[in-house]
Amino acid sequence: MATEAAYLAGVVKDDTLARLIEDIESAASRARKAEPGDRTDIARFEALMTRLEQRAAGVDRAGRLPLPDPAAYAEVTLVGDDPARWPGEMPASVRAAATAIVARGLVPVLVVEPLDAGVTARPGDAQSAPDPAERWDAGGARGRRAVEARFRAQICEALSGPKPRPIAPSGINNSVVTEMLREFADAEPGVPARRVPVEYRDGSRSANPMPLRALPLRGQLEPSDLTLRFALLSIRHTEMDAVVDGAWLRNAEISRPRPAAQTDDLVYDITRQQLDELARHGSRVRLDLYQTGLETAVVGFYKALADHLLAHPRSVAVQPMYYDGASPAGERDRSAGITVDSAPFRKGTPWTM
């Protein structure tokens, strides 16, 4: 039988231990300042803490102070022998015991072991497993069409339920996501506007919900004072670099490993800032947006566009341009004046008021 255990160990202080503690504090400080998704210093911190715990594990059991309720200490990190630098959330009993260890000239180390000799405590009242979720019927659709049908059903459920339920755009073609968000962002008589959470396959949820049934959108673009052509992400189709005005987002900044919702939020923040800058001059701007893949960038952009249009109606219009690998190579997009030999594009439904 095994159980979880927690204890305080007094480790003899030497130069090696002092350097190890300095490295741990440095890694923790750098990890707090790291960009979202950058785990370099987090991994370094975890490796160094493992070395410290191995030192503590070498302390004889007679020199360990057992602690009750190990789960209470799972997120408490005790490093070094300076009480002023210990975490404020540390229980008073642990702080008193650690102070006593310091008084003996030793360094206290808090260790939580997931497996120790003993019997695992069991709750008095066992909880039964919840009933399985009701199977969703795709109406005979399979593969990609079933995924698209499920996304549409999610949006309809989010609009009709007593409170908004999250929609999940992961794994759906970017043109389908854009067209569905455009369809349901359009205001409809008798249907109240609603902000719907966006959740991704990895379980992360964006801080910015999608406004639905909130915008009186039009089907046709009107003349604009300025037309700009942007690739949504840089380095996706480098052959376009000579003919577009720029990339809306830097691939090196957006495509880093991080929870999907954090990428969505980053794109949202960048897009709101850049759209606000375009609107600041009072001109009506048209953006031809050439987009491929990465649903977090697509969703983050159009959420920001919807919120921008709510704050600044008619200041900007966006013409989505979808990569269409099935179209003949060398096809010319006459409206944009672009010939892309290996990357033909087709128009989507414009976002304009």
pLDDT recorded at residue 337: 44
User: Is the distance from CB of 243 to CB of 231 less than 8 angstroms?
Assistant: no
pLDDT recorded at residue 72: 67
Query: Quick one: how far is CA 20 from the chain centroid?
Result: 33
**pTM value?**
0.62
* HEC assignment per residue over 161-205: CCCCCCECCCCCCHHHHHHHHHHHHECECCECCEEECEECCCCCE
- Tens of each residue's pLDDT in the chain, 353 residues: 566 777 888 888 888 888 988 898 888 888 888 877 778 888 898 899 888 888 888 888 777 878 777 666 666 677 788 887 787 777 787 888 888 888 888 888 888 777 766 666 665 656 677 788 777 777 777 777 888 888 888 898 888 878 888 999 988 888 999 999 999 999 988 889 999 999 999 999 999 999 999 999 998 888 888 899 998 888 766 666 667 888 899 988 988 888 999 999 999 999 999 999 988 887 899 999 998 778 999 999 999 999 999 999 999 999 999 877 655 544 444 444 444 444 577 899 999 99
- What are the pLDDT digits (tens) for 249-304? 998 898 888 899 999 999 999 999 999 998 888 789 999 999 877 899 999 999 99
DSSP-based three-state secondary structure for 339: strand
CA distance 242 to 140: 45
pLDDT recorded at residue 74: 66
* Residue 66, strand partner residues: 7
Question: Scanning the structure block, which residue is given the tokens 């809306």?
Answer: 248
pLDDT recorded at residue 73: 67
pLDDT recorded at residue 330: 43
H or E stretch covering 8: strand 2-12
pLDDT recorded at residue 78: 75
| Both structure tokens of 75 | 């997120």
- What are the pLDDT digits (tens) for 87-124? 777 778 788 888 888 888 888 888 877 776 666 666 56
H or E stretch covering 246: strand 246-249
Contacts of 63 (CB under 8 A, 6+ apart): 9, 10
